[in-house]
Each structure stands twice: as structure tokens, then as C-alpha cells.
Structure 1
Amino acid sequence: MAAKLAAAEAAEVTIIARGPHLAAMQANGLKLISEGIETVVHPRCVATPEEAGPQDAVIITLKAVGLPGAAPQIAKLLGPETAIVSAVNGIPWWYFYKFGGEFDGRRVESVDPGGEVSRLLPPERAIGCIVYPAAEVAEPGVIEHTYGDRFTLGEPSGERTPRIEALAKALVAAGFKAPVRPKIRDEIWVKLWGNLAFNPISALTSATLDVITAPGELRDLARAMMLEAQEIGQALGVRFAIDVDKRIAGAAEVGAHRTSMLQDLERGRPMEVEALLGVIVEFAELTGRPAPNCRTVLALLRARARAAGCL
């Protein structure tokens, strides 16, 4: 996202990074490899929020597991009108803000333990963003993009505000699809629907997406987990615009992709256990749904993460 925004001069981009990745970008620029084409850009790259200063929009692309620890630093980027774009997989900390009904304003403990994230990053600043591109850091300073060009946006309230219009316009100018949806939670669930099954199964088996989605036992398990989650989501008012088999077919199109959770496990980094699956079990308890497959896989995944030091 940063590379394309910078290349198109669609926005003044500042990247906050660390370690070898930061050093490489500062020395050589940021290289994007997409569809066989290499693009090198030179956006401003800094190590701390203090160097960056207040921003018009802060796009959070951290793993969800890193957000509680990073929130105090992210808060330093906020000016009076700064929007926080949560381009993070899973259920976001602001999920029940402007939700309506009996759960309005409720805290999601799995991703906002103790409410500290909401205190530092007020939900009223949040803009939802669902990330569809598949990409990974090939080496420090080099991003390899393999699939997808859409970032779906939405206000928690469902409104079409000037700030979200401006963000969508910048992303479109950079060559992305950036639809603004009135029911962003429905979109969050469609993305999460696959991630809650494919990511844990990949971490437990080392299987890539093409293997998990092929006919067989892994696909059957993923499908069972997804159907449990669909019942939970529908109990929370979510409308699933596609059926489970179409969602699995969409994942199969990505091909032999190692999920982000598998990449994290292989590199010894914390995995998004709670944001992708722990939250499903939390919501199962909230809505009174059993979700036995999700509970079993969550127990195995937590054990795997502990054993690997990736929890």
C-alpha cells in the first residue's frame, strides 16, 4: 500500500519500521515486486512516531497481537482529527462501537484486554479496512505481492464521511480498488471467515492454501469451523453475502500461499491466535453457540504457539 501510494504520488507517505527492514528502506528505498514488475520508491522511513509527527491518517498494518503493545506509540501520531485505519486481520478492537442493540459499546477482550487499546486509540477515530492482497517481505526492504488489489473501507457507523471519501480517493489513485461499504462488519466477517480456519490449520499442519482447500479432511475441517462461525456471526446480525463453498473456492484461487500465521510460526513471531480464532470462541460464549471444532482447534493452536514461543 505504501509503495503504490508513494509511486502514484497519491499521498505524502511516511513509513514507520524497525530493524533491518527500516535500514534497507532508508538505504535503498522500498522495492515492490508485483506481477513480475519491480518498482522502487523512496518514501520517508522513520523508526519512531516522534520522528513522523501527527498524521492525517494512521494505517495500522501490524499483526493484531502486537497492537496492545504498540498502542502507546501509535497514540503519539494522533492529531485532533487523525483517523485510525485498522488494516488488521480479525475482529478489531472497535467492533462494538456504534454497533447498536444489547452489545453496543461492549469491549472485545480477546483483542482489547482490559480496554487499554480503546483508551489509547478511541474507537470514534477508527475506519475499518479489510486487506485482500497477499504479500510478504521477501527480504528487508523488498515486498513481494502475489495476489489481490482491494482494500474495502467502512465507518463503524456506516456513514459515508469526508475522511473515508478522501482515503478511498487516494487508494484508487494509487491503483487499488477501495469500495466504501455501509456494513463493514459484514465484510470483516467474510475475510475472517476464511482466516479463522485456514490460518490455524496451516499453522498446525504447515499446509499451504491450495492443500487446505483441496477436497479432503483439511477442507472438511475448515468448512466445519466456518459453518460454526457463520452461525455465531448471524447471531450478531452479520449477513454473509456468499456461501461457505464459494468462500473456500475464493481462497483456493490464491494458490500455494503460506498464510500469514504459518509465516509467523516459521519465523518465530507471535501469531494472531486470539484475533482470528480466540475471538470466535469469545463470541460463541457471548451468543450461546457451542462451536466444538473451533474450540478444539483453538486449544491445539494455543499449545502449538506456546511450544514454539509464538503466543
Structure 2
Amino acid sequence: MTDPSLRIGIAGAGAIGTTLGVRFALGGHRVSVLARGGTLDAIRDHGLRLVDRQGEHHAPATAGGPDDLGEQDVLFLCAKAQDLAALARSSQGMIGPGTLVVPVVNGIPWWYFEGEGGRHDGRTVRAVDPDGSLKALLPMDRIIGSVAFITAERLAPGVARSLNPLRLSIGEITHRHTGRADRLGAVLTACGIDTTVSDRVRDPLWTKVIANLTSNPLSVVTGATLRDIYGDPSLAPIARQMLDEALLTAASFGARVALDPVSLLAMGAGMGDVKTSMLQDFEKGLPLELSSICDAVIELAEMQGLSMPLTKNIASLVRYKSASAAGCRKEEGAP
């Protein structure tokens, strides 16, 4: 990564992928977006567009299918957990011998036990990689862990809005300090994404996991925004109990969560009237990202002999509500 103009691949042109693509293009890098259907056509015709705190930006990007885009210097995989394996297969042509692969995912990632050196080293997280396909498809020595503290909404194909600060934490999944992570962090920061390079990337990961766990499922059950989930007197105690369950699990794996529970709740409430990504998916009738946000955390807790009763119950309510809504949509669409 010595060339000032990098080849940046974006696989997954949703809200986060579009946001990253625009920021990289504005920073002078060559952005290639793996896309299909209407999204492919929209990006080819109009490029990418982002509305953020600095205004409205239009940015050029090359868009193509799996066979159209060549090897990249850095490939960002921006997908829901349930879509990641298919995206990894489609993006194989973008991964060369020197490509860094940066998965930008919610919840516990499949690489959690890779290179961490503990007693579970190399173990598969079954909830997110049940058949081991991600481990087989993506070269572990090229993975850079990432944690995105970015709230973004997809407005249309190739168009996103993100009105909160853009923040990212990255680091080697082996918890080593390397020049390549430092260089990538510098590139991200120069492109307007405030990036911290961590020697313990699983620590900020747990902060994001806890934020997801305490907000996303509750948002589907209640329809509430972040402000109410963490600030309403009826909902905040539920979020706090789920937070306590998750904090105990994180501590059992040696994670150091930077913020105390009160600060975590205050930070969430301070995000304002933002709909979680899971609520947005529910309202659109899309599959929900429960495997990485809920199931994987519960799996890790059970590995340590811990229980997460409220988290399990809330996840069950979300599954019921999602299945019920899908059934209603199916009946409405029946002749």
C-alpha cells in the first residue's frame, strides 16, 4: 500500500459500502464496486452519492459483476452475516496475493477465534460459519479486523445517508502491531473516516457487539429508535439487563470494554432518532441479522458456562415477529 492512489474494492453496496466507497473516491482512490441488477446499473450510470455531515457528495466508481473487476489492494466486505458467504464467493476475483481483506460486519465475526492464541484458538463460531465456508474462502493471513461505528441508511441504489460521525477501529486479528494496519488506518483517516488502529481489535469489537445486541432486537420488537431504546424509562431497563448479560460474556473472554454501562446507555441515547439496521431490514421484509448479533453471542456465553436468559427471550420474540410478518406478506401476495 505504497501507491497514494489505491485500488479499493467494495463488495456489498449497501449503506456502509456506499458510504466507504464515496469517502475513498473523494480521497482520490480508485473505487470498484461489486454489484448486480439495479444497483449495478445505477452505479454505472450515476456513480455513488452520499449525504453526510459535510454535505452531499457525488463520486465516481467502477461497478461490475464477479468477472468484471480485477484484483484490489484492499477489499471491504460489507454484508449482513447471512449474506457474507455468498459475497465472499462472488468476490474471489478481487482477491490477489497482496490484497488486504477487511470484513465490515455486525456482531461476532467468523474470525473471532482465529489467531487469538487462547484455548479456543481456531475454533469455528457455528452461528456465523456453520459449514466453515468463510474460513475456507478468505485467507486468514490477509484479514484485517474492523469495527464500524457508522450509522448509515441506504436511500436508493448507490445512494446513502450518514449524519453521525464516521468512526472505524481496525487491527490485526492476531493482536500484533503491523505496518500494514497502520498504513490502512492512515488512508481511512485521510478519507474522512476517523480510524483507530488497535492492537486488541476484539475490545472495540465487543463494544459494538454490545451496542448491536442491546438495540437491534429491541428495535424490532418495539419499533423504537435508539433515543427511546436507551432513554425511555420503559425500555432502558431492558436494554440495561441485556447489556449486563453481554458484558459478563465479554469479560469471560478477557475483553476490555472501554465504557461503563451508564456511559454505554448514554452514548446510545445520544445517537438520536436513528432506526437500527435490523429495524430497517424488518420494515423492508428482509432477513434479519440474528445469527451474528444474538446467536453467536449466546454461543460464546454457553462456551463459558454462562446463560443469557433475557437475550434469548428477546431473540425469540424477534424471530416470531419476523416469521409472522413474512407469513402475512405471503398471504397478501397469494392470488
Counterpart for residue 26 of structure 2: 7
Alpha-carbon distance, 1:304 to partner: 2.3
Query: 2-side partners of 1:259 and 1:224: how far apart?
Result: 19
| Native 8 Å contact 1:209 1:254 kept in 2 | yes
Query: 2-side partners of 1:277 and 1:297: how far apart?
Result: 9
Counterpart for residue 272 of structure 2: 255
**Which of 250, 261, 265 is residue 233 of structure 1 equivalent to?**
250
Alpha-carbon distance, 1:179 to partner: 1.1
| Native 8 Å contact 2:101 2:143 kept in 1 | yes
Q: In the TM superposition, what whole-angstrom CA distance separates every residue of 1:48-76 from its partner, at most 9, and x where no partner exists? A: 23211121211011111211222211233
Query: 2-side partners of 1:125 and 1:230: how far apart?
Result: 30
**Which of 33, 48, 63 is residue 51 of structure 2 equivalent to?**
33
Counterpart of 1:265 in structure 2: which amino acid?
F
Counterpart for residue 94 of structure 2: 77
Alpha-carbon distance, 1:36 to partner: 6.2
Q: Normalised by the size of structure 2, how large is the TM-score?
A: 0.88
**Which of 145, 149, 152 is residue 169 of structure 2 equivalent to?**
152
Counterpart of 2:48 in structure 1: which amino acid?
L
Tell me the SS of whatever aligns to 2:76.
strand
Counterpart of 1:40 in structure 2: which amino acid?
H
**Which of 274, 288, 299 is residue 282 of structure 1 equivalent to?**
299
Counterpart for residue 77 of structure 2: 60
Instruction: State the identity as a percent.
Output: 35
> Where does 1:112-261 land on structure 2 (aligned, <5 Å)?
112-261=129-278
| Native 8 Å contact 1:97 1:124 kept in 2 | no
| Native 8 Å contact 2:170 2:196 kept in 1 | yes
| Native 8 Å contact 1:133 1:146 kept in 2 | no
| Native 8 Å contact 2:53 2:165 kept in 1 | no
Q: In the TM superposition, what whole-angstrom CA distance separates every residue of 1:66-98 from its partner, at most 9, and x where no partner exists? A: 112222112332111221101111111111011
Counterpart for residue 332 of structure 2: none
Alpha-carbon distance, 1:239 to partner: 1.2
Structural RMSD (CA): 1.5
Query: 2-side partners of 1:123 and 1:111: how far apart?
Result: 16
1:21 aligns with 2:28: no
Q: In the TM superposition, what whole-angstrom CA distance separates every residue of 1:226-265 from its partner, at most 9, and x where no partner exists? A: 1001111111111112111111111111100000000011
For structure 1, which runs of at least 5 residues remain unmatched after alignment? none
Tell me the SS of whatever aligns to 1:109.
coil
Alpha-carbon distance, 1:126 to partner: 1.2
Query: 1-side partners of 2:256 and 2:158: how far apart?
Result: 39
Query: 2-side partners of 1:62 and 1:266: how far apart?
Result: 18
Alpha-carbon distance, 1:105 to partner: 0.7
Alpha-carbon distance, 1:294 to partner: 0.9
Alpha-carbon distance, 1:166 to partner: 2.4
Query: 2-side partners of 1:71 and 1:4: how far apart?
Result: 23
Q: In the TM superposition, what whole-angstrom CA distance separates every residue of 1:106-144 from its partner, at most 9, and x where no partner exists? A: 100011112111011133221111111211111223211
Alpha-carbon distance, 1:182 to partner: 0.6
Query: 2-side partners of 1:254 and 1:54: how far apart?
Result: 37
Kindly tell me the number of residue pairs found equivalent between the two proteins: 308
Alpha-carbon distance, 1:174 to partner: 0.7
Q: In the TM superposition, what whole-angstrom CA distance separates every residue of 1:147-178 from its partner, at most 9, and x where no partner exists? A: 12211111111222232222112112212211
Counterpart of 2:32 in structure 1: which amino acid?
T
Tell me the SS of whatever aligns to 1:51.
coil
Query: 1-side partners of 2:324 and 2:141: how far apart?
Result: 38
**Which of 97, 102, 106 is residue 114 of structure 2 equivalent to?**
97
